[in-house]
């Protein structure tokens, strides 16, 4: 099939592109290279059935033009502002990059006659649920972050477009994703801080926030199984492991792997920042029922990520 991947130079996007090409598909990638890394696409660019279009999600004509020409079987919309923590400092960014950006992608897809579209949402759309592990059918959530609000808006757009225009939608509610090319988030931040000063580290919150992580190749396997097997008009899947860890657990695994013993300075409180979910743990039995299972545990995913970051110091320096 011919896939159109937004955010193709990003962490998850570039891994997905490599996998799709490896599986024999052709890929058009779309990225504005604002946070994406061109060298994540080094392997893809050697492939004749890969095409990179540099453009911005806010530029609807650019998206339309990129989707024209050869028929697209599936759009995978991964491009987003993934900076959850700093939402309140720049509230318009989530609206533009996530909500309006997603509108432009689904609208360009509609105009190009694309019938299937997949979207990376987040477990943050559940806000602070009272049900754990949280299923896709949890009660109507109250949003607690601008990021979550922008993603729930994107979900609504995909579903409404599917209903209104005869498209098929795939919505994935991710936990935090880890692995090769990971370049944003809490394991990354810890590695950077420990590289600067291995003797002590500031930890947002009390360290007892419970989080769930998924290895990027497991995430990609889940996406590919879902688009192959799910048949509803709107298909919503939680993507995570059947476990969670405390921030303190992940700090333990990271410091052990790095061979450091920092003093930990906790900022205190049950939340790392406004809108931080103190507990994310998703019920993934729906995607498991399609035959998917993650291959790596949270601990294995974190260790592999630490190794990747250690081998790619340039990434730590490129993101300040």
**Could you confirm whether 161 is annotated as catalytic?**
no
Q: Nearest 5°: phi and psi at 83?
A: -90, 85
Site string for its own copies, 133-152 (x = CB under 8 A): ---xxxxxxxxxxx-xxx-x
With beta carbons less than 8 A apart as the criterion, state whether 244 and 298 touch.
Answer: yes
Q: Which of residues 58-97 bind its own copies (CB under 8 A)?
A: 87-88, 91-92, 95
Phi, psi of 276, deg, nearest 5:
-65, 130
Please enumerate in sequence order all residues whose Cβ is within 8 A of that of 210, keeping only pairs 6 or more positions apart, or say none. 244, 245, 246, 278, 279, 280, 281
Binding its own copies by CB under 8 A: which of 28, 37, 97, 99?
99
For residue 198, the minimal CB distance to its own copies (Å) is: 34
Contact 32, 105 (CB under 8 A): no
Q: Is 165 in the site for its own copies (CB under 8 A)?
A: yes
CA separation for the pair 105, 108 (Å, rounded): 5
Show the site string, 29-48: x = touches its own copies by CB under 8 A, - = not: --------------------
The single-letter DSSP state of residue 123 is G
Complex with its own copies: residue 5 or 149, whichever CB lies closer: 149
Instruction: Establish if 103 lies at the interface with its own copies (CB under 8 A).
Output: yes
Smallest distance from the beta carbon of 33 to its own copies, in angstroms? 26
- Binding residue (CB under 8 A) for its own copies from 159, 193, 258, 260: 159
Peptide bond just before 103 cis, omega within 30 deg: no
Q: Output the smallest distance, CB 226 to its own copies, in A.
A: 16
Measured CA to CA, the distance from residue 55 to residue 79 in angstroms comes to 11
Give, in order, the Cα–Cα distances in Å from 71 to each of 2, 31, 76, 126, 166. 7, 19, 14, 35, 17
- The nearer residue to its own copies, 15 or 144, going by C-beta atoms, is 144
Q: Which of 164, 199, 231, 320 binds its own copies (CB under 8 A)?
A: 164
Tell me how far CA of residue 49 lies from CA of 20, 22, 43, 55, 63, in angstroms: 10, 11, 12, 19, 19
Confirm or reject binding of residue 269 to its own copies (CB under 8 A). Answer: no
Catalytic amino acids? Answer: 147
Residues that bind its own copies (CB under 8 A): 87-88, 91-92, 95, 99-100, 103, 107, 110, 126-127, 136-146, 148-150, 152-153, 155-157, 159-161, 163-165, 234, 236, 274-275
């Amino acid at each position: 099939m011919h896939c159109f991947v937004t955010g193709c130079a990003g962490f998850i996007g570039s891994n997905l592109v490599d996998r799709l090409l490896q599986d024999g598909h052709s890929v058009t990638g779309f990225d504005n290279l604002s946070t994406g890394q061109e060298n994540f696409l080094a392997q893809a660019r050697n492939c004749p059935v890969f095409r990179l279009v540099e453009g911005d999600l806010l530029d609807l004509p650019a998206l339309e033009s990129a989707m024209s020409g050869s028929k697209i079987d599936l759009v995978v919309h991964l491009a987003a502002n993934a900076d959850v923590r700093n939402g309140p400092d720049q509230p318009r960014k989530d609206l533009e990059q996530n909500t309006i950006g997603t509108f432009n992608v689904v609208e360009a897809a509609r105009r190009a006659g694309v019938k299937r579209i997949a979207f990376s949402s987040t477990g943050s759309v559940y806000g602070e649920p009272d049900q754990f592990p949280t299923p896709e059918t949890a009660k109507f959530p109250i949003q607690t972050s601008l990021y979550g609000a922008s993603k729930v808006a994107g979900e609504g757009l995909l579903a409404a477009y599917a209903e209104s225009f005869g498209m098929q939608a795939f919505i994935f509610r991710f936990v935090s994703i880890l692995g090769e090319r990971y370049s944003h988030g809490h394991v990354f931040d810890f590695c950077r801080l420990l590289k600067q000063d291995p003797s002590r580290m500031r930890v947002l919150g009390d360290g007892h926030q419970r989080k769930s992580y998924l290895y990027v190749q497991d995430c990609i396997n889940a996406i590919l199984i879902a688009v192959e097997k799910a048949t509803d008009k709107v298909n919503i899947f939680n993507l995570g492991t059947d476990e969670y860890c405390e921030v303190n657990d992940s700090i333990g695994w990271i410091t052990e792997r790095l061979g450091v013993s920092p003093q930990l300075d906790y900022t205190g409180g049950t939340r790392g920042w406004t809108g931080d979910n103190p507990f994310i743990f998703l019920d993934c039995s729906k995607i498991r029922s399609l035959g998917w299972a993650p291959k790596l545990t949270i601990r294995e995913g974190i260790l592999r990520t630490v190794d990747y970051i250690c081998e790619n110091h340039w990434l730590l320096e490129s993101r300040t």
